[in-house]
Amino acid sequence: MPLSASRGRKKVKELTALDKEILNILQKEFPITVQPYGDIAAKLGIEEGELLQRIKTMKERGVIRRIGGVLDSKSLGFFSTLCACRVSEGRIDEIAAVINREKGVTHNYVRDNYYNVWFTLTAPTKRDAERKIAVIEKTTGIKILNMPALKVYKIEVCFEMGEAGAL
Amino acid sequence: MKQVRFDSVESEIIKLLQSDLPLESRPYQLLSEKLGISEEEIVARINILQEKGLIRRLGAVLRHQQVGYTVNAMVAWKTDESRVDEVGKVIAGYSSVSHCYLRQVPKEFEYNLFSMIHSRSEEELVQILKRIADRTGVQDYVVIRSIRELKKVSMTYI
């Protein structure tokens, strides 16, 4: 297939079988080598240039967020927690701005629960996280539920890409 | 807390890996020149960081909505203290579940076992929930969906 044919904003259904295979390998078996793309291309029996072009296209289309390391916050010495609060509809953006100002806030969503704003906070220490939560509470006047993880049963953000047409 | 120590070279490698690797044939070339060490050395260090547990995984992070997993729900299960490990492991066993944690929860919100479930349709989500509830006997759960993204970024540690 000519490279130009894979350009443009295609729907996920139009990801080719090869694209899906590439996504599975990129997620699960990314080689830790000097030339990882050359190794993947060899495995797939395609040119490295074609592989890089396909990955570039999938990045541009927003299928791939990034290629890098998924780091373990705990091993790095960081503390992370899930927080929730109840915010009146009219104040969501104002309060989100206060919450999002905090660098350690990586995810923040409006959700369909009594507690309608949920965010994750990562900080160097537990005390640091608690201090940051207290600052947000004081600034906004809103009570925040702080729910740190006690045990992890699974963290594996891989999406198995089915065979062509299976999605 | 099992914190792992790392040196200045490892710190530079972590800095690179927490972002997006350059999409080039030799993604470590630039860092290699900056640090004055070979790309082979960098690769060896990455392997060590992975063995130490600092890097959980190296590879692509996808946008799940864009790859067909359009129904993404946080589901919290009210689980009896004595059964959390058993139930947590069952939930973790499903391929549609990307995250499963036991959390310390306040009395205002007693749903202590959190999971993130991704499916390709509403029907599929309903089926997964029913299967988990039947298998674990945990019938009291809340499905908490995201309505609007307010922030989503990768953590910058260093």
Tokens coding B47: 């392997």
Query: Do A142 and A84 share a domain, yes or no?
Result: yes
Q: Where are the alpha helices (DSSP H) in B27-149?
A: 29-35, 39-52, 84-92, 122-136
Contact A87, A117 (CB under 8 A): yes
Residues of A in contact with B89 (CB under 8 A): 153
The answer to whether A151 contacts B145, with C-beta atoms less than 8 Å apart, is: no
Domain boundaries, position A32: 3-60
- Least CB–CB distance from B43: residue in A34, A104, A156: A34
Residue of B nearest to A11 (CA): B66
In a domain, A46, yes or no: yes
Query: Do A35 and A89 share a domain, yes or no?
Result: no
Residue of A nearest to B105 (CA): A147
The answer to whether A99 contacts B156, with C-beta atoms less than 8 Å apart, is: no
Q: Give the pLDDT of residue B2.
A: 65
Distance from CA of A7 to the nearest CA of B (A): 15
In a domain, A66, yes or no: no
Query: Do A33 and A87 share a domain, yes or no?
Result: no
Q: Tens-digit pLDDT profile for chain A (167 aa)?
A: 344 333 334 455 578 999 999 999 999 999 999 999 999 999 999 999 999 999 999 999 999 999 999 888 888 889 999 999 999 999 999 999 999 999 999 999 999 999 999 999 999 999 999 999 999 999 999 999 999 999 989 887 667 776 433 33
- pLDDT tens string B44-56: 999 999 999 899 8
In a domain, A11, yes or no: yes
Query: Do A9 and A49 share a domain, yes or no?
Result: yes
Mean pLDDT, range B105-116, rounded to an integer: 97
| Complex confidence, ipTM | 0.83
Residue of A nearest to B47 (CA): A32
Query: Do A49 and A97 share a domain, yes or no?
Result: no
Pick from A153, A155, A161 the residue to mutate for testing the B interface (most B CBs within 10 Å). Answer: A153
Q: What residue type is assigned to position A23 of the chain?
A: L
Contact B78, B97 (CB under 8 A): no
Q: How far apart are alpha carbons A157 and B101 in whole angstroms?
A: 14
Q: Give the pLDDT of residue A157.
A: 66
In a domain, A158, yes or no: no
For chain B, the domains span 8-52, 64-145
- Note the Cα B94 to chain centre separation in Å: 15
Tokens coding A119: 């965010």
- pLDDT tens string B54-92: 998 999 998 887 888 888 899 999 999 999 999 999 999
- Partners of residue A69 on adjacent β-strands: B58
Query: Do A56 and A97 share a domain, yes or no?
Result: no
The answer to whether A69 contacts B17, with C-beta atoms less than 8 Å apart, is: yes
Distance from CA of B57 to the nearest CA of A (A): 5
- Least CB–CB distance from A152: residue in B25, B101, B152: B101
Tokens coding B95: 């391929």
Which DSSP letter does residue B65 get? G
**Burial annotation B64-83 (CB, 10 A radius, 16+ → b, else e):** bebbbbebebbbbbebeeee
Looking at per-residue pLDDT, the higher value among A8 and B8 belongs to: B8
Q: Which fold has domain B64-145?
A: Alpha-Beta Plaits (3.30.70)
Tally of structural domains, chain A: 2
Angle between the N-to-C axes of helices B8-17 and B39-52, in degrees from 0 to 180, rounded to the nearest 10: 90
Residues of A in contact with B32 (CB under 8 A): none
Q: Give the pLDDT of residue B64.
A: 80
- Partners of residue B143 on adjacent β-strands: B75
Mean pLDDT, range B133-157, rounded to an integer: 93
Provide the Cα torsion B53, B55, B56, B58; round to 10°: -150
The percentage of residues in chain B with a pLDDT greater than 70, rounded to a whole number, is 99
SS3 content of chain B, % helix, strand, coil (to 5): 40, 25, 35
DSSP per-residue letters across B74-86: EEEE---GGGHHH
Distance from CA of A138 to the nearest CA of B (A): 19
